[in-house]
Structure formats: C-alpha cells, structure tokens
Chains A and B, each alone.
Chain A
Amino acid sequence: MPVVLGHNIYDIASSPEIYDIVWVNFPYDEAPYEPGPDRHPGLVLSKSVFKDKNTELNYASLQIAYGTSQPQNDRLPWEVLRVHNYVALDRCGLCRDTSFILSRVQRLLWCEEYFPISEHGTPILGKLPHAQILALKTLKEVRDALKKKSSND
C-alpha cells in the first residue's frame, strides 16, 4: 500500500463522497501507531485531493464530523445534526440514534490507520438522506451567519 505522510493511503477511487458516513478508528493514546478499540461514525463534510510531491501519488483528505450515540442535550442547536428516524438511520448504516457534532470537525487522510474496512469491504457505512442533507446545509448557513456576526461585533 502506498505511503504518504507516513500513512498507508487508500486508493482515491475508494474514497467517500460528501455526506457519506464512514467508520473512524481512534488510535491508542499511549501507542499512536496502533489502531485503538474506540470507533465512531464520521460524517464527511468536505473532500480534497492532493498530489504527493515525492511519490507523485494522488490521495484524499476528508473533513469529518464525529458522531456519537450519547445524547447531546447540553449543546446548542447549531452544533449538532441528529439522525434519529429509522429510515434515515438505515440509509446511514447506523443502528442507534446518532448526533454528529459540527463543532468538532477534524481533517483526516483517507488511509488504513483511521478508516477500518468493515465486513462490507469498505469503511463507508452509508449516506446521509436528502432531508438530513438539507438540515445540514441550514445548520452551515446558521453557523456561517453567526461567525460573520461575531467577527463584525
């Protein structure tokens, strides 16, 4: 498997599209070179492609919002996208009510270390349904408006 920035990168053709749900594996805190047991679903918010200067290989990086089944009652409404109805969860490939935390977004390389392949042969679990995509876009507009307002104040 090709190595870019010290990571075993996946082929760009296997990378998810935006609004796909993927599996994210957190490494061990004490041993960052090993995939840990803590896994969470991640919502793909953006995708960028790169060419490695040394190897000339193309690779992808993703902005991911992490999901948890822990209720997020203390968070502000524009910080969380909830997926809770049966059909939406099914399309996302999830089995529990899930909150994606939009104030906790991280950029990750599309690589073996953080995106474990599931029994279905891919780290991609499913795709956010249309209604939730619209809700996400509304949340983005609200968040951008709030950012703009706070920078003007």
Chain B
Amino acid sequence: MTKKPKPRSDLMFQEANLPNPVEFDYSKDITDKHFDIMNKAMMYRSGLSKEELEEALAEGILVGGEIW
C-alpha cells in the first residue's frame, strides 16, 4: 500500500504574528540634512554638544548586534 500525503487544507501551519504593514510615504531620499536635523534635535534636548552627546551614547553596554 502506498503512502499518501495529507490534503493541503488539513495542514495546520501556524500563522506568523505580524501586524499589517502600515501605509506611509517614505519616498524621500536620506540625505545629510536628515542627520543634521536629528543631531540638532538631540543636542537641543540634551543640552550637550555633538561630541559630548556621541560620548554619552557610546558609553553603554552592547547587548545586541555589532557596532557599525
């Protein structure tokens, strides 16, 4: 007697728990201006200079990934 695979509809694959993609426009290119704006905002809020801020953010313990 030959073995027969189950019907596809009987298979219970677990669905990935993913949210639906969020529609938003991000078609602008990433430019130096984006970096300047973000740096300016972080400096403004923290009251630190660019160098002090970089130093403060680089002090932590790396818990995932590699430094790029």
Contacts and interface: CB of A to CB of B under 8 A. Distances in A.
Contacts of B16: 91
B26 A40 contact: yes
Interface string A89-123: 11111111010011011111100011000111000
Contact of B62 (A38, A48, A66, A108): A48
Contact of A93 (B18, B46, B63): B18
A41 B26 contact: yes
B34 A47 contact: no
Main secondary structure of the interface of A (DSSP, over half): strand
Contacts of A17: 64
Lowest 7 CB-CB distances: which A-B pairs, in order? A48-B60, A46-B65, A6-B45, A32-B41, A18-B65, A50-B60, A5-B46
Given A5-B45, A91-B18, A106 B35 contact: yes
A68 B68 contact: no
Given A90-B21, A125-B22, A32 B44 contact: yes
Interface in B2-26: 16, 18-26
A45 B68 CA distance: 7
A104 B28 CA distance: 14
Task: Bin chain B's interface residue count.
Answer: 35 or more
B26 A69 contact: yes
Task: Bin chain A's interface residue count.
Answer: 35 or more
Contacts of A26: 34, 37-38
A84 interface: no
Most chain B CB inside 10 Å of its own CB: which residue of A6, A92, A114: A6
20 contacts: A5-B45, A6-B46, A29-B40, A33-B41, A39-B24, A45-B66, A46-B67, A48-B61, A48-B62, A50-B60, A63-B65, A63-B68, A66-B30, A68-B26, A69-B25, A102-B68, A107-B54, A107-B58, A109-B57, A118-B19
Contact of B65 (A6, A45, A70, A89): A45
B1 interface: no
